[in-house]
Chains A and B, each alone.
Chain A
Amino acid sequence: MHRRQFILGTAALAAALVAAGCSAPSAENTGEAGTLRYAAVGAPATASHDPHGGLGNESDAMRFALLYDVLTVPGEHGTQPRLATSWTPDESLTNWRIELRDDATFTDGEPVTAADVLFSLRRMQEKAAENYGRMGMFDLAASATKGQHTLRLVTHKPFAEVGQALESATFIVPEGSEDFSEPVAGSGPFRMESGDAEAAVLARNDDWWGPRPPLDTIEIRAIADPQARADAVASGQADVAGSVNPAAARTAEREGLRVVHRQGVTVYPLVMRLDSEPFDDERVREAVKLAVDREQLLDTVFLGQGAQASDLLTPADATAPELPARTRDLDRARELLAEAGHGDGLDLTLKTTTAYPGMDDTATLIAEHLKPIGVNVTVDVVPQDTYWTEVYAQEPFYVSYLGGISFLDVARVALLPDSPTNETAWGDNGWAERFDEAMAEKDEPKRAELLGALQRELAEDGGYVVWAAGDGLDLARPGVSGLPTGPGFQRLFIDQVRLGSR
């Protein structure tokens, strides 16, 4: 007996020694002064150096926003100049003169010219299949450079919002860049120092034309798991975690970390395809909209961190109209279903996935909410690798996702007849023509009004049930200031973030 104990004891000791050997005392990992460590959303395995593709990883997009100049950026009061100093249309709104700054240079010393800009925009157009036709409004073959720092951009149709169309994702690379297996030269506020796409160290580019960034270096890592991102900040291995779960944010707040809210940027809309039964009947769509319990969804899925929505896809957009709150009305919903010929019940399959936290809960709750009006919903949770290829923009009834892009972007991607992923089969009812009319309107307040009316129409008649808009929740250690709080791509521009005392 003693001998056995001895053997076991020795082994346990050996194991402990090895473990201890693996854990020699290490310095407190707090990073250097002036270094911001950002744990961003992203799958490290799919990290890419190509700024003109799908930008599926936020970690990549954020790195590009620091390494490359973009033409314009979103601001509190509309589009702000960046590399482009002005964008001026002709009378027809199809012919735009874009002026560029003349003091921007790439890290290889070459000046940034109109030719580089046109090359980059054309490259984005070539990759339309990956970036959902981000440059689709432009006729880039007809566009041309007009001197060193001026270019003429031609749009297919009158398009009054060219400034906005050039926001955020127009990363400018040197003309002729072809190999993107390594980062190419940029002209942004930071330059690549070490690391690679999945974990990069960026150092301040002192030759940048803009306001000097307060930080010396920024480390950006792609971390797929939201809990791991939150834990990274909690354990002091990162200063900021992008997009954490509401529950993790709540815990972290109790532990003295700061939660930065980006208001109303996450929506998990319920998609009903207008060209499929039974959703081709507007009474069925209205019944579903009346039956979901928006309050419970908001409280359960977003833990109340957000605001109830009345089916507006982009409530954070500057042109979003004010709509009255939708109240649950089961009697009216039953009536509508009976009128539509489904008085004796309806069987539906609702697809969802686990790509973003709470998408599966959304489907489960909606199934419960629809039961009292006689709609029997079977929830089918699809793995995320097949969700994007087999459910998204294909199935008639599923839980979708939108991450705070602008109304114009949503319209381009999902609401027009030629949109690559028109998931609700929307736009045949004259809406697309009215959208074109709005884009041809020169007067800005008038245009905003037209765009607002379009959104109202979509909310009332469309195939989307947008029950709430959840806040984007970023986690920061005390001392980090200046993190962006605006919607959409604004979150990527962290070049003016500061670090106080830790």
Chain B
Amino acid sequence: MTGVLPRACARAALVLFAVAAGVFLLTDVLPGDAVLARTRGGAGAAELARLRAESGMDGPIWERFARWGWSLLHGDAGTSLLSDRPVSTLVGERLPATLTLAACALAVTVPLLLVLSWWAGGLAARSYGGGILAAAAAIPQVVVAAAAVAVFSGLLGWLPGVSLLPIGAPPWHEPALLVLPALSLALPSAAYGAGLLSGSVADVRTLPHVGDAILRGVPRWRIATRHALPLLWAPAIRVVAVIAGGLIAATTVVETVFGYTGLGELLVSSVAARDVPVVQAVALLGAVVVVTGGVLADVLRGVRA
């Protein structure tokens, strides 16, 4: 146990730093900047330079990155370069919405993912299971969302086709609004996650004690839960962590289709407007989820070892 946690944390910190630097660099390389986006051609060169200096966008990239990082370490995520509103407000308003949606989606994804990977990792489906999962995971989210809306909202009329969150109430106040967005998120990510996990499942299912259990006639669900699952915790948590992190970014399409105001829309609009402090904050949040899952998996494995 000793050394597992500090090592995992150090690795996590390194990854987060790399993500922050990478995203900062990428946003910087994109053509245009926030001042251009804000003035839409309405300002001359001198005016642009003045505005850039005013909002701390002048100077070499490492200096701007250092300034941003230093403020963040002091608990200040900065203000939006587009609307002058604090980044913490922008993110804080949307975080509950995205977390609620991601949690609902995860609640559907995880059991589905486990079942699918068990199926794909079995002998019977070994030749074609992976292919089917890959194909299912490749269906664009917008198609899944459109199909879900067409069936459940258009055809059956059971659920609303848009999900405008109540103002001044928690996102789960109107649970019906969450169903279609959550399903649209869950189906592709369950297929994707199952594809990642099916290899480990296949390995576990060929282990001698699992084969023994099958020969002894132990019921299949008991084999899955008692014999196989304990060995699958670490890879499963890793996969779930990747999916959870991905969900934060993946909500973008679903949020647009359903008019659901969460972090995804914030991320995409902010990238479009080159609103660096907002992009950084949202990207880091996604990275934190993935990395935390990774640390958890490491620690679990460490404990078992």
Q: Contact residues of A with B, CB < 8 Å?
A: 3-4, 6-8, 10-11, 14-15, 18-19, 21-26, 29, 39, 43-50, 53-54, 56, 128-133, 180-181, 194-201, 219, 221, 223-225, 228-229, 231-232, 234-238, 383-386, 388-390, 392-394, 420-421
Pick from A11, A231, A389: contact of B259, CB below 8 A. Answer: A231
A313 to B259, CA, bound (A): 33
Contact, CB under 8 Å: A389 / B41: yes
Contact, CB under 8 Å: A386 / B32: yes
B258 at the interface (CB under 8 A from A): yes
Contact, CB under 8 Å: B168 / A48: no
Contacts A15-B108, A228-B257, A390-B32; A48 near B83 (Cβ below 8 A): yes
Contact, CB under 8 Å: B175 / A26: yes
Most central of A23, A180, A394 by chain B CB within 10 Å = A23
Contact, CB under 8 Å: A194 / B167: yes
The interface bits of chain B over 36-57 (1 if a CB of A lies within 8 angstroms of the residue's CB, else 0) are: 1111111100011001000000
B198 at the interface (CB under 8 A from A): no
Taking CB atoms, residues of chain B closer than 8 Å to A388 are: 36-37, 40-41
Pick from B47, B256, B259: contact of A129, CB below 8 A. Answer: B47
Contact, CB under 8 Å: A8 / B41: no
Most central of A26, A385, A386 by chain B CB within 10 Å = A385
Taking CB atoms, residues of chain B closer than 8 Å to A49 are: 83, 85
Taking CB atoms, residues of chain A closer than 8 Å to B32 are: 385-386, 389-390
Closest residue of A by beta carbon distance from B220? A3
Taking CB atoms, residues of chain B closer than 8 Å to A180 are: 84
Contact, CB under 8 Å: A45 / B269: yes
Taking CB atoms, residues of chain A closer than 8 Å to B42 are: 54, 128-133, 420-421
* 8 A-B pairs with the lowest CB-CB distances in the bound complex, closest first: A45-B269, A129-B43, A228-B259, A385-B272, A11-B115, A48-B83, A3-B220, A420-B42
Closest residue of A by beta carbon distance from B269? A45
Taking CB atoms, residues of chain B closer than 8 Å to A130 are: 38-39, 42-43
Contact, CB under 8 Å: A11 / B175: no
Taking CB atoms, residues of chain B closer than 8 Å to A10 are: 221
Contact, CB under 8 Å: B107 / A197: no
Taking CB atoms, residues of chain A closer than 8 Å to B241 are: none
Contacts A22-B175, A201-B167, A237-B162; A6 near B221 (Cβ below 8 A): yes
B200 at the interface (CB under 8 A from A): no
A394 to B36, CA, bound (A): 13
Question: 6 pairs across A/B with beta carbons < 8 Å?
Answer: A14-B111, A21-B175, A29-B174, A45-B268, A237-B162, A420-B42
Contact, CB under 8 Å: B179 / A19: yes
A6 to B224, CA, bound (A): 13
Taking CB atoms, residues of chain A closer than 8 Å to B219 are: 3
B196 at the interface (CB under 8 A from A): no
Taking CB atoms, residues of chain A closer than 8 Å to B160 are: 235-237
Write the nearest CB–CB distance from A62 to chain B, whole angstroms: 15
Taking CB atoms, residues of chain A closer than 8 Å to B48 are: 129
Write the nearest CB–CB distance from A28 to chain B, whole angstroms: 10
Write the nearest CB–CB distance from A355 to chain B, whole angstroms: 11
Contacts A23-B175, A199-B165; A54 near B40 (Cβ below 8 A): yes
Write the nearest CB–CB distance from B36 to chain A, whole angstroms: 4
A224 to B107, CA, bound (A): 29
Taking CB atoms, residues of chain B closer than 8 Å to A6 are: 220-221
Pick from A131, A194, A197, A234: contact of B83, CB below 8 A. Answer: A197
B280 at the interface (CB under 8 A from A): no
A205 to B100, CA, bound (A): 34
B5 at the interface (CB under 8 A from A): no
* Given A45-B275, A197-B85, A389-B32, 16 extra CB contacts under 8 A: A7-B220, A18-B108, A44-B269, A45-B268, A46-B269, A48-B82, A48-B83, A53-B38, A54-B40, A132-B42, A195-B168, A198-B93, A228-B259, A234-B161, A384-B272, A385-B272
Contacts A11-B112, A235-B160; A45 near B90 (Cβ below 8 A): yes
Contacts A224-B265, A389-B37; A24 near B167 (Cβ below 8 A): no
The interface bits of chain B over 199-224 (1 if a CB of A lies within 8 angstroms of the residue's CB, else 0) are: 00000000000000000000111001
Taking CB atoms, residues of chain A closer than 8 Å to B40 are: 54, 56, 388-389, 392, 421
Write the nearest CB–CB distance from A127 to chain B, whole angstroms: 10
A128 to B41, CA, bound (A): 12
Most central of A48, A231, A238 by chain B CB within 10 Å = A231
Taking CB atoms, residues of chain B closer than 8 Å to A131 are: 42
Taking CB atoms, residues of chain A closer than 8 Å to B108 are: 15, 18-19
B249 at the interface (CB under 8 A from A): no
Taking CB atoms, residues of chain A closer than 8 Å to B278 are: 45
Write the nearest CB–CB distance from B279 to chain A, whole angstroms: 10
Taking CB atoms, residues of chain A closer than 8 Å to B82 are: 45-46, 48
B178 at the interface (CB under 8 A from A): yes
Write the nearest CB–CB distance from B148 to chain A, whole angstroms: 11
Write the nearest CB–CB distance from B264 to chain A, whole angstroms: 10
Closest residue of A by beta carbon distance from B47? A129
B273 at the interface (CB under 8 A from A): yes
